[in-house]
Amino acid sequence: MIEVLVAFVLLSMTLAVLLQIFSGGLQNAGTGERYAQAMVLADSKLEMLGGEQPITPGSVSGEEDGLSWQLDIVPFSDPSREASSRLVELFEVTLTVRWQLGSRERALTLNTLKLAASQ
């Protein structure tokens, strides 16, 4: 009789561990999906820069599909370049996408350099 009771206890402990493993896997799948959405949004915002949206210093932010984003553009200074040869300007672009996952905030940050015609 005691062997049956021990077997049930071991079985219930094993099932509890398996449920935790599966729920963790499902949560990670949700995290991966949201991360992919953030990456697609970030890519589209960077693609629009210089085309639909001019490259000018400053900050722009917004929210789409539960993802908030902020785009920061600052002039990139390169002291090795001569002032007379500056037909184009170089800008440092930082794009951060944030989202909530349960009680935690997640973020994806991309940095790049973009060229724009001098004004």
Q: Are 119 and 103 in contact (CB under 8 A)?
A: no
How confident is the model at residue 99, as a pLDDT?
Answer: 94
pTM of the complete model beyond 0.85:
no
| Structure confidence at residue 12 (pLDDT) | 75
pLDDT, tens digit, for every residue of 76-105?
Answer: 887 666 655 567 888 999 999 999 888 889
Average pLDDT over residues 9-36: 70
Domain ranges within the chain, ordered by starting residue: 2-117
User: Mean pLDDT across the stretch 31-49?
Assistant: 89
Give the model's pLDDT for residue 111: 94
Mean pLDDT, range 19-36, rounded to an integer: 70
Backbone angles phi, psi at 52, to 5 degrees: -70, -30
Encoded tokens for 81: 């370049």
> Quick one: CA dihedral 21, 26, 30, 36, positive or negative?
positive
Q: Most distant CA pair in the chain: distance in Å? A: 93
Tell me what pLDDT residue 97 has.
Answer: 96
Give the pLDDT of residue 85: 58
Give the pLDDT confidence of 43-78 residue by residue, as tens digits. 999 999 888 788 899 999 999 989 999 999 999 887
d(CA 9, CA 4): 9
| Rg of the chain (C-alpha set) | 25
